Structure 1
Amino acid sequence: MARIASARLSAEPSSPEQHDRRRRILRAAARIGGEKSLERVQMHEVAKAAGVAIGTLYRYFPSKIHLFTAVMAAQVDRFEEGITRPAPGTPPEEAVADLLVRASQQLLAQPVLAASMLHASNAANGATVADTGRIDGTFREIVLRTVGIEVPTAQDVTLVRLLMQCWYGVLQSSLNGRASMADVESDIRLACNLLLAPRSNSH
């Protein structure tokens, strides 16, 4: 089992060279994580594949939890960049469901990597793994923007958090072989309708 994330904070890259090294590490981790489970991934293997010293890897990612949470954050960022406007007249909760179904299909296309990313992000301590905040923040922005809520209330934020937790659970059920892709889509659409339709209809 992967160790719980170290209490040490990750270093943040500042120069272009440091950003490039961090990106190389994430690409290497995603490639290796697509073939091996989180428990079998070795940090020295990732460092070698990324062409960096092991000390550099641990400077940015003190544990595999930090590393694969960051891999998920990068995937969420890329997904956000690829979002297109929903068709005119699409109910907001349907538009969010469409986005989450597409995101699920992308993640589940690499089930070994998806399992590692979900395990890491679920095990991560938000106080010491900064990328958990990036994932939550990006997810919240995507949903609120799609629903059309510009100034969210505390309840809006709570509903989005519940939706995210539900989505994680649905993905995990699929990865555990307990839900088909049809089940995943059906569950996502039901969750979006139950949690978001009342809010979108009130704005």
Structure 2
Amino acid sequence: MTTPVRSPAAPRPRGAGRRRLAAADLGAEPAPLVAGLAASQVRRMRRIVDAAVRLAEQGGFDGVRLRDVAEASDVALGTLYKYFRSKEDILLFALAEEMERLEATVVARPIRGQTRLDRVVAFFARATTGLTRRPQFARAVLRSISAGDSDMAVKVAGFMLRMTRLIVAAQRGEVPNLAAPVDAPVGTQREQQIAFVLTHFWFSSLSGWAGGLHSARTVADQLRMAAALLLEEE
């Protein structure tokens, strides 16, 4: 059964049902950025997301203030709230887009390696490089993930499912099936457990990086160590 994931509320034309913003639904599959919105609404929402990302790149999480986002995107604050509930909501939408880009690269350029360990390490190296290439934005996203809001927690859970699918595929040396439902069973129970442990370890290491404890290179080194402990004995 698919876990329901709430998407940011979008404007509802008279007589129409509530629209969904596909990329913000972290449990959904890669899809066009917005489903069912008018072109003007898509452009407006795009400006909001882009403005928030720019502010995050400049000032991190604290630099993203909704009034500033509204001003930078040339929309009224009330209009912004029709699309997103909070700055965490916007940043997780941007994270969903990052996730879609990662999925696309894994399909276009499959993870290579002679062993499961090599492939898993290569996957996390690619994921880490992709996320940390914009350090302030990445730190803002990591703050959003740990916000503790129940709506955000459901979206993060969907993100974890998508990571599991990619890591299991890397273990198997396969291209992930992005057409399948995100909660469809993948791999063996053991492969899923390895993916679960490594994903949580990755976020823990990224949190250390975000706090200035170590470099992004150290994140990759720590992932190699953790993956070796899980995989080398098999």
TM-score (norm 2): 0.70
Note if 1:183 corresponds to 2:218.
yes
Q: Please say if 1:103 is aligned against 2:103.
A: no
Indicate the residue corresponding to 2:118 in structure 1.
Answer: 94
2:157 and 2:38 map into 1 onto residues whose CA distance is 23
1:41 is aligned to 64
Q: CA deviation at 1:143?
A: 0.9
In the TM superposition, what whole-angstrom CA distance separates every residue of 1:157-190 from its partner, at most 9, and x where no partner exists?
Answer: 3432221111111112122221234322210112
SS at match of 2:146: helix
Mapped contact 1:94–1:193 kept (Cα < 8 A): no
Q: Against the structure 1 CA distance between its residues 44 and 197, is the aligned structure 2 distance closer, same or farther, given a 3 Å change threshold?
A: farther
Q: Any stretches of 5+ residues in structure 2 without a counterpart?
A: 1-5, 10-19, 22-35, 175-184
**SS of aligned partner of 2:63:** coil
Partners of 2:125 and 2:227 in 1: CA distance: 11
Go from structure 1 to structure 2 and tell me whether the alpha carbon gap of 1:154 and 1:58 turns closer, same or farther (over 3 Å shift): farther
Distance 1:24 1:154 in 2: 42
Where does the alignment leave 5 or more consecutive residues of structure 1 unmatched?
Answer: 1-7
- State the match for 1:50 in structure 2: 73
Q: State whether residues 102 and 130 of structure 2, in contact with CA within 8 Å, keep that contact through their aligned partners in structure 1.
A: no
> Do the aligned partners of 1:65 and 1:124 also contact (CA within 8 Å) in 2?
no
**TM-score, normalization: structure 1?**
0.79
Q: Provide the residue aligned with 2:159 in structure 1.
A: 135
SS of 1:30 mapped into structure 2: helix
Q: CA RMSD in A?
A: 2.6
Query: What SS is found at the alignment partner of 2:137?
Result: helix
- Structure 2 match to 1:3: none
Aligned residues: 190
The one-letter amino acid of 2:8's match is S
Determine which structure has the larger helix proportion and give its number. 1
Q: Deviations over 1:82-121 (max 9, x none)?
A: 221233x521332121121122123223221111100101
Which amino acid is the alignment partner of residue 119 of structure 1? R
2:195 aligned with 1:160, yes or no?
yes
Q: Greater RCO between the two (CA within 8 Å, min separation 6)? A: 1
- Structure 1 distance, partners of 2:171, 2:88, is 32
Distance 1:195 1:63 in 2: 38
Most deviating of 96-105 and 19-28? 19-28
How far does residue 155 in structure 1 lie from its aligned partner after superposition? Answer: 4.6
Structure 1 equivalent of residue 31 of structure 2: none
Structure 1 197/62 Cα, relative in aligned 2: closer, same or farther at 3 Å? farther
